[in-house]
Every structure is written in C-alpha cells, then in structure tokens.
Amino acid sequence: MKRYFNRSWCVAICLSFFALGSNAQQITVSAKLDKSTIALGDQTVLRLTAQLPVREQLNFPALTDTISSKIQIVEMGKTDTLKDAANPGMHTVVRSYTITSFDPGVHAIPAFLFTGKAGSFSTAALPLEVKEVKVDTTKAIFDIKQPIAVSYTFMDWLRDNWHWLVFGLVILVMLAAVWYYYKKMRKAKPVVVEPAKPEVPAHVLALEQLQVLRNKKLWQQDAVKEYYSELSDIIREYLEKKYRINAMEQTSEEILSALKHMEIRSEDSNRLRQVLLLADLVKFAKAKPLNTDNELSMDNAIGFVNGTV
C-alpha cells in the first residue's frame, strides 16, 4: 500500500511538470520595428508581442521614457489583445511604443524580458540604424525670406467681424425700441400737476407746536431744561417768520432790542421777555423755576403769539 502511494505521487508530480512545460512551450514573445532605418530625429514604432494561452498572465517589461542612452520613447501606445480564430484558447497581446533617436549610427535595442507564472521569456535584440541628414555644401546659403505683405480689405474685416456687427445692430434696434416706447408712453400719459399746498401761517404753526409741547408734560417729568429749550426754539422760529429777523442766531437781548421798533404792544413785549429770559436762566444758569413759572411761561408764549397775529 505504501509503495502504491509513493508511485501515485510521483506520477502526479511528473504530470504537473509536464503541464507546466507544455504551457511554457505555448508562450512566445517577440519585438519588431516598423522601420529599422530612420533619419536623424525621425520616428518609428517598436511593437512588443506576446502569444500565450488565455488563462495565462504575462508581465510586459516596464519602459519609461528611454530604451537606452541613444534611443528615446516619444509615446506609449495602447495595448491591443487579439484572439486567435484558429485556436480559441490562445490570444496575442501587442503593446506599441513610438521611439526616436538624435544620434547617428547603428544602435542596439536590447532584449526585453517578460515574466509570469510560467517562467521568464526574452526577445531578441534589434538593430536601429539612424542616418545623418546630409547637407549639400556646394550650394550657396540664402537669407530667410521676409513675410509677404497681404492686403486686408474691408470685406475681409467684415467677414472676420460680422458677428460683432450683427450684435451691435441688435443692441441699437433694442435701444431704439425702448426709446420709442418710452416717448410714446410719456406723450400718452397725462401730466398731473399737483396744486401747491397753502403755506401754514406762522402763528398757526407756532400755536400747534406749543400745544404739542404742553401735551408732552416735560417739566412734570423733571425734564425742565428740555422743556424750556423747545419752548424758546418755537418762539424764535415764530419771530423769524413773523418779523424776518435772525432770531435763532441772536441772544435774547438782541431779539428784544430788534423788536423795539416793531408794532408790538408792551403787554406782549413783557410776555416775550419773561419767556426768553427765564429760558436762558434754565439753559445756561441751571435755574430751577417753580411749577407756576413753568406754566406761566407756556401761557405767556401762547398769549404773545395770539397778541401779535
């Protein structure tokens, strides 16, 4: 039994090595040039080809930007996989490289190594001949020709810029349409002239402002300075409109002096004096008048306005 077991293992191992060897024999690799001879700086295509079973994998050699110091890679093309119609179990993988050289002479493209599970496979080396460009030294050297002047007509400009011309015309038409519509609507729309508002007489405006100030009840809320400041401004504004004097910029004494020649009764003049002088004392001397004085100032202001209508 033990001898039979050893024989079975030997047969299996032999069969596996035979299968591996048969797969390796089916894999072939090659390297070919489209042109083996090129001019200096010209280009040709190097094609690396691997023919192998479909289930096998093979690693192509890793190439970057050069093959050797004399041969450069310009571009790496795509990888093509071609099926074998006669043998469905086989396929061919082709990878192309565009190469060039700027050194004249015959250069060797080295062998390329493919690796895979089935082993390593190498291509044959290839020669690449780079021919130098011959220059005929017997001919004279000529100067570089100057650019030829070409006339540029209006039709040429119109052909190159017609879209801008059309765009400008469209904008002009739109602006004309907007202007025409605006002008037409302006003519059609009747002009409404609002009647001028009658000017409020100075005494009416002053009495309304005094009533508003009284309703605020400022001095009752300990805002005595604000109360007299507003009261003085109302009276000064009334004097400016009524007697055409610069009462807002003058002192109380200057106002009273300017009004001496006006037709103002002495009773009304005394009322005005009381209002202005007490307002100055509160604003500048920080005086604290009695509640009766505060109410008297309002009454005198209203009485002065009514007395000078």
The helix/strand/coil state of 201 is coil
Alpha carbon separation from 216 to 132, 147, 148 (Å, rounded): 110, 93, 94
Q: What is the domain count for the chain?
A: 2
272 in a domain, yes or no?
yes
The helix/strand/coil state of 89 is coil
Chain mean position to CA 139:
60
Q: How high is the pLDDT of residue 18? A: 40
Give one word for 129, left, alpha or beta, with left for phi > 0 and alpha for psi -120 to 50.
beta
Q: How high is the pLDDT of residue 2? A: 42
Paired tokens of 144: 């570089």
Same domain (yes/no): 123, 207: no
Q: With beta carbons less than 8 A apart as the criterion, state whether 26 and 52 touch.
A: yes
233 in a domain, yes or no?
yes
Among residues 26, 40, 120, the alpha carbon closest in space to that of 72 is found at 40
Taking the CA atoms of 246, 250, 256 and 261 in sequence, report the sign of the dihedral they define: negative
207 in a domain, yes or no?
yes
The one-character DSSP state at 66 is B
Other residues' Cβ atoms within 10 Å of the Cβ of residue 251: 11
Domain boundary among 131, 158, 187: 131
Same domain (yes/no): 122, 208: no
* The 126-131 sheet, strands edge to edge: 37-39, 126-131, 105-109
Provide the CATH number for the domain around residue 103: 2.60.40.10
By residue range, what is the domain housing residue 257? 202-307
39 in a domain, yes or no?
yes
216 in a domain, yes or no?
yes
Split the chain (309 residues) into runs of 10 and give each run's mean pLDDT.
44 43 73 93 94 91 90 90 87 94 93 92 94 74 72 83 88 91 72 73 92 94 93 94 90 90 90 93 90 93 91
Q: How high is the pLDDT of residue 17? A: 43
Domain boundary among 111, 131, 151: 131
Domain boundary among 113, 131, 149: 131
Give, rounded to a whole angstrom, the gap between the first and last alpha carbons of the chain: 148
Paired tokens of 91: 């396929």
Q: With beta carbons less than 8 A apart as the criterion, state whether 62 and 104 touch.
A: no
60 in a domain, yes or no?
yes
65 in a domain, yes or no?
yes
Give one word for 182, left, alpha or beta, with left for phi > 0 and alpha for psi -120 to 50.
alpha
Same domain (yes/no): 222, 302: yes
188 in a domain, yes or no?
no
Same domain (yes/no): 124, 206: no
How do strand 58-59 and strand 105-109 relate by DSSP bridges? unpaired
